[in-house]
Amino acid sequence: MPRITSARVIVTCPGRNFVTLKIETDEGAYGIGDATLNGRELAVASYLTDHVIPCLIGRDAHRIEDIWQYLYKGAYWRRGPVTMSAIAAVDMALWDIKGKLAGMPVYQLLGGAAREGCMVYGHANGSDIAETIERAHEYLEQGYKAVRLQSGVPGLAATYGVSGERFYYEPAKGSLPDETVWSTSKYMRHVPQLFEKGRNALGWDVHLLHDVHHRLTPIEAGRLGKDLEPYRLFWLEDATPAENQAGFRLIRQHTTTPLAVGEIFNSVWDAKQLIEEQLIDYIRATVVHAGGITHLRRIAGLADLHQVRTGCHGATDLSPVSMAAALHFGLSVPNFGIQEYMRHTAETDAVFPHAYSLSNGLMHPGDKPGLGVDIDEALAAKHEYKRAYLPVNRLEDGTMWSW
Ligand code: CS2
Ligand code: MG
């Protein structure tokens, strides 16, 4: 059996920070896992280096579930984004090793392909509605079947999801958090116009999505969902902060617009009520922040019992290692819904060569043994870590709000 002989954390910043765990075995096979937690990267790097790695040495790399349970139960202090991102990185790396030793892509170890490819959605964003729709057309020309629309809001200097870049979006900047100002009323008046014009320009054959990014109260989310019903969104995401899972009952009472939530969840417990009461339609939990492939399969299994589908997070701050693992998971899981795909820059892709590919709006992880992604350590070493924070958000009167 393959014994773990060493493991190390590689922190690199090819335009943005990524944290990668590399686990080596005495059979020559090594595996890698993403451990990136945007804005808190070094906390996970330390959790792995100072607390987890010493416990891994000498263990049987094939015992993925046992190691997962050891790291989850053995920490005593359970759950949370730092802990679960660290466990996720170990989990991804061990699946990578298992696939390499078996000579099979990980999706084959997960039960094989349940579809030809994973439908993905791109991010069309613009300073105004016209520019956003222009971007969306570019995604349609590239064969995407689903596009997220986010536009600037008149009267607000900045808002979530709108960047100066055409295809990339990097919100983490600066050595201290930027501060943005938010107005729910300005936003609520604007979004229905975005989707009315979006539908008229883009037609009905494309799936349209929108991310509220945790900024409404439940009743406001119910109102927005109702206002958007004529435009048949694929989903309305993070409509309200989800610590209070019961709050989604209020949204459900007022609208049939499908709801997606969970990119900041880190375990099944964050979503249990939402799923069991069918308060959502898509669960956004992802491989890197929700405990890896092993735990994400548990979440998807519970979701499948309640007709909830997957819609995993896939922003640029999740590395290509996460993207690869998410595609192996997405290709094999029965209740796949959609996969977010915010493309990485060429600089990032050079550090993380990968086998996954996009064709006609569907992505496939490729058939290389393991996860089919690697890290070029020499190149990674050239990009030094640079502290960066996600913005913070305040109401116009200065009240702290969700960003
Ligand atoms: C967003 C993310 O992709 C999304 O749906 O919510 O871009 C999110 O803002 C970032 O991942 C935060 O690091
Ligand atoms: Mg989101």
pLDDT tens sequence across 118-128: 999 999 999 99
Q: Which tokens go with 146?
A: 């689903």
What letter does residue 364 receive in the DSSP assignment?
E
Residues tagged active-site: 160, 213
Ligand 2 centroid to Cα of residue 15, in Å, is 21
Return d(Cα 315, Cα 332) in angstroms, integer: 21
Closest residue to atom 8 of ligand 1, CA basis: 315
The vertex-180 CA angle with 177 and 182, nearest 5°, equals: 145
* Cβ atoms of residues 336 and 363 within 8 Å: no
Residue range 198-218, pLDDT digits in tens = 999 999 999 999 999 999 999
Closest residue to atom 10 of ligand 1, CA basis: 315
The CB of 211 under 6 Å from ligand 1? The reply is: yes
- Nearest atom in ligand 1 to the alpha carbon of residue 403 is 9
Closest residue to atom 13 of ligand 1, CA basis: 38
CA dihedral 224, 228, 232, 235 (to 10 degrees): -30
Mean pLDDT of the residues in the chain: 97
Query: What are residue 32's DSSP bridge partners?
Result: 22
Domain positions in the chain? 4-107, 109-367
CATH fourth-level superfamily of 4-107 = Enolase-like, N-terminal domain (3.30.390.10)
User: Domain 109-367 carries which CATH code?
Assistant: 3.20.20.120
Residue range 127-165, pLDDT digits in tens = 999 999 999 999 999 999 999 999 999 999 999 999 877
Q: In a mutational test of the pocket of ligand 1, which residue from 213, 214, 390, 393 has the highest number of ligand atoms less than 8 Å from its CB?
A: 213
Where residue 36 falls among pLDDT bands split at 50, 70, 90? Answer: very high
DSSP strands (E only) in 166-218: 179-182, 207-211
What's the average model confidence in pLDDT over 228-256?
98
**Cβ count within 10 A of residue 360:** 11
Where residue 29 falls among pLDDT bands split at 50, 70, 90? Answer: very high
- Nearest atom in ligand 1 to the alpha carbon of residue 39 is 13
Return d(Cα 270, Cα 38) in angstroms, integer: 19
What's the average model confidence in pLDDT over 334-339?
99
* Cβ atoms of residues 221 and 213 within 8 Å: no
Predicted confidence at residue 21, as pLDDT, reads 99
